[in-house]
């Protein structure tokens, strides 16, 4: 099958990481997957949320925020602040990013600190949530390298890297890393988040006015595992391990 951008069905879009993109952040990266670009940053705040103190929960905390900048889409996207509240999609995505990062980080080794992950979409061409997770994992690791270099933590808190990718069935064919057109018109789309050890953090899949079989689901998961392995290789290169 020939895709709009000339890729094979099992190919990722061109992937680049630009580290230290936000100089004031503890760790940051610009991740580009094709025409989708997201700035992911990690900043450290001393102290933990009140509920952790009140409940005597040890260790630190990791939380995330996600936003699409007004010029990230073809039609201007209004800022959430103009509506007075965060929209449901953004809320869902930032919770997903937070869950993914907490699966990757030993909160005890982080100490009594909060790591804020911010993912800001500069350009959206499909896969913004998966790019955000993949970039956030790099930003968190870079932040932890700085914490260790500054002597603020003694033990490496990243248990393992996490990456995510989209897969779907488009015009009857299973595809890896959907762009906007493919995602929009896919009969089935799925987002898969996995760790370095091959464990799933989350699988979000649904038929769009369609259904899918067990064998189709297996083929999509196989594509996702292949793509995530390639994403993890890219992450390791940037982080330096």
**What is the distance between the alpha carbons of residues 130 and 96, in angstroms, rounded to a whole number?**
10
**What is the distance between the alpha carbons of residues 64 and 29, in angstroms, rounded to a whole number?**
15
Check residue 1 and give its pLDDT: 66
pTM of the model: 0.94
26 within 8 A of 45, measured Cβ to Cβ:
no
- Residues 6+ away with beta carbon under 8 Å from 11: 176, 177
110 within 8 A of 157, measured Cβ to Cβ:
yes
Q: How does pLDDT run across 93-106, given as a tens digit for each residue? A: 999 999 999 999 99
What does residue 96 show for φ and ψ, rounded to 5 degrees? -65, -45
What does residue 207 show for φ and ψ, rounded to 5 degrees? -90, 140
What the chain holds in terms of domains, given with CATH numbers, is: 15-239 (3.30.230.70)
Q: How does pLDDT run across 59-99, given as a tens digit for each residue? A: 999 999 999 998 898 889 888 777 777 878 889 999 999 99
Q: How many CA atoms lie within 13 A of 218 on its CB side?
A: 3
Per-residue H/E/C for the chain: CCCCCCCCCCCCCCEEEEECCCCCCCEEEEEEECCEEEEEEEEEEECCCHHHHHHCCCCCEEEEEEEECHHHCCCCCCCHHHHCCCCHHHHHHHHHHHHHHHHHECHHHHCCEEEEEEEEEEECCCCHHHHHHHHHHHHHHHHHHHHHHCCCCCCCCECCCEEEEEEEEECCEEEECCCHHHHHHCCEEEEEEEECCCCEEEEEEEECCCCCCHHHHHHHHHHHHHHHHHHHHHHHHHHCC
- Mean pLDDT across 215-231: 96
Q: How does pLDDT run across 109-130, given as a tens digit for each residue? A: 999 999 999 999 999 999 999 9
Q: How does pLDDT run across 137-158, given as a tens digit for each residue? A: 999 999 999 999 999 999 999 9
Query: Residue 131: is its pLDDT beyond 80?
Result: yes
- Residues 6+ away with beta carbon under 8 Å from 202: 96, 99, 100, 191, 192, 193
């Amino acid at each position: 099958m020939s895709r709009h951008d000339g890729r094979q069905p099992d190919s990722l879009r061109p992937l680049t990481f630009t580290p230290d993109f936000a100089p004031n952040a503890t760790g940051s990266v610009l991740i580009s997957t094709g025409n989708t670009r997201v700035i992911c940053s990690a900043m450290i705040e001393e102290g933990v949320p009140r509920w952790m103190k009140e409940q005597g929960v040890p260790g630190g905390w990791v939380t995330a925020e996600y936003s699409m900048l007004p010029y990230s889409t073809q039609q201007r996207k209004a800022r959430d602040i103009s509506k007075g509240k965060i929209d449901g999609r953004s809320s869902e995505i930032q919770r997903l990013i937070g869950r993914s990062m907490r699966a990757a980080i030993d909160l005890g080794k982080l100490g009594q600190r909060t790591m804020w992950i911010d993912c800001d979409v500069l350009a959206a061409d499909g896969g913004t949530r998966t790019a955000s997770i993949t970039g956030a994992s790099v930003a968190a690791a870079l932040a932890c390298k700085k914490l260790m270099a500054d002597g603020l933590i003694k033990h490496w808190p990243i248990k393992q890297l996490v990456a995510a990718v989209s897969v779907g069935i488009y015009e009857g064919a299973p595809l890896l890393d959907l762009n906007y057109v493919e995602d929009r018109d896919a009969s089935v789309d799925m987002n898969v988040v996995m760790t370095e050890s091959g464990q799933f953090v989350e699988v979000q899949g649904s038929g769009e006015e369609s259904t899918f079989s067990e064998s189709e689901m297996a083929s999509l998961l196989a594509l996702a595992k292949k793509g995530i392995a390639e994403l993890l290789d890219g992450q390791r290169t940037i982080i330096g391990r």
